[in-house]
Amino acid sequence: MIDKIKDLVAEIEALKANKKEEIEALRIKYLSKKGEISSLFNDFRNVPAEQKKEVGMLLNGLKEKAQSKINELKALFENGAGENDLVDLTRTPYPVELGTRHPISIVKNEICEIFGRLGFSIAEGPEVEDDWHVFSALNFAEDHPARDMQDTFFIQRSPDVLLRTHTSSVQTRVMEHTQPPIRIICPGRVYRNEAISYRAHCFFHQVEALYVDKNVSFADLKQALLFFAKEMFGADTKIRLRPSYFPFTEPSAEMDISCNLCGGKGCPFCKYTGWVEILGCGMVDPNVLDACGIDSSIYSGYALGMGIERVTNLKYQVKDLRMFSENDQRFLQQFEAAH
């Protein structure tokens, strides 16, 4: 009997369990009414009188030991240690998939990087704007159609609070608190009240560039545009400027690049013209400089703005604008891995 008790003490000391059910099974095995320890207590009757004292002490010790061991295992399990003991550190890990950069981010970064090489630094402004920064300071007449409810999302309670329709608003903000030389590039999201289709969305992205200094000329603008087009679309790219109108530039132009799908020969993408339009630009209207506190008799500047989606379409031939905001992994995973 004494040997049996000693064996059980050793056995119980070495017990391990990692699951609730295992601990319960051990409790039943040793401590329940029909358990091993109870049956030893039953056998106690047969122990000769002279051994009763010694065996009794050992038996009580065994019971206490079993009780405290089970409690210890329970505590370990509740602290979460049990499961961890089972982790197999040699197991092959689950594959962690690397994310990819969004095509809009890739192109935005590339545009900013190219202008960065020309000395432009990044500026940002708020998406919720006021009339002054989006329209009035930029020389939009009171009745200009772009202020119309058709295009602009207004915040319900105030016609003065709106979602910016272009990143030209960042020009206003920077010119208001900076004197030239100013050389900034402003990427960001813009909003227009458009029906969503494969070729239009109610939000999209633009990059605005602004250069203001003494003696800035249209030739400087043209040179920057040519440099950008070649860096972005390849050294063979040609540009052409068409006269246009924007309230905030005078003169204004739109820039086309030779279609990089057909090399200018004509294809469905360029509607057989060999050219695709990619941005608006011009010399900053003196009214805009003055409205922002920059003396137009001393300084001049150029500005340009382009849609990032448009440039991205040209680069990656994405035919449906909605794909940029649907977060379909099959689409997104085709682009460069983020690192």
Ranked by CB distance to ligand DAH, the top (closest) residue is: 305
- The single residue among 108, 133, 164, 166 that binds ligand DAH, judged by CB under 6 A, is 166
Binding mask 235-254 for ligand DAH (x = CB under 6 A): -----------x--x-----
Residue 166 Cβ vs ligand DAH, minimum distance, rounded to whole Å: 3
Q: What residue has token string 């159609």?
A: 145
d(CA 181, CA 19): 71
Does residue number 168 form part of the binding site for ligand DAH (CB under 6 A)?
yes
In whole angstroms, how close is the CB of 336 to ligand DAH at the nearest point?
A: 27
Measured from the CB of residue 334, what is the shortest distance to ligand DAH in angstroms?
A: 28
Tell me how many degrees the CA angle 123-237-257 measures, rounded to the nearest 5.
65
Determine if 184 is a binding residue for ligand DAH (CB under 6 A): no
Helix (H) or strand (E) holding 175: helix 168-177
Which residues does residue 210 pair with via DSSP β-bridges, in sequence order? 184, 303
Nearer to ligand DAH, 36 or 131 (CB): 131
For the window 80-119, what string marks contact with ligand DAH as x by the rule CB under 6 A?
----------------------------------------
Contacts of 291 (CB under 8 A, 6+ apart): 136, 137, 139, 172
Q: Which of residues 192-211 bind ligand DAH (CB under 6 A)?
A: 208
We find the least distance from the C-beta atom of residue 130 to ligand DAH, in angstroms, to be 17
Peptide bond into 243 cis (omega under 30): no
Q: Between residues 70 and 174, which has the closer beta carbon with respect to ligand DAH? A: 174
Find residue 10's DSSP bridge partners: none
Note whether 277 and 256 are within 8 A (CB): yes
Give dist(CA 243, CA 261) in Å, integer.
Answer: 25
- 59 vs 184, beta carbon nearer ligand DAH: 184
- Give yes or no for a contact between 274 and 264, defined as CB atoms under 8 angstroms apart: yes
Helices (H) and strands (E) in the chain, counts: 13, 10
User: 27 or 166: whose CB is closer to ligand DAH?
Assistant: 166
Q: Under rule CB under 6 A, which residues in 273-332 are in contact with ligand DAH?
A: 280-282, 303-305
CB 229 within 8 A of CB 239: yes
Count of positions on this chain that bind ligand DAH (CB under 6 A):
11
| Minimum distance, C-beta of residue 195 to ligand DAH, in the bound complex (Å) | 18
> Minimum CB separation from ligand DAH for residue 261, in Å?
24
Structure tokens at 167: 């990143």
Nearest distance from C-beta of residue 235 to ligand DAH, angstroms: 25
Q: Are 258 and 237 in contact (CB under 8 A)?
A: yes
Both tokens assigned to 47? 């122990």
Q: Which residues of this chain interact with ligand DAH, rule CB under 6 A?
A: 166, 168, 208, 246, 249, 280-282, 303-305
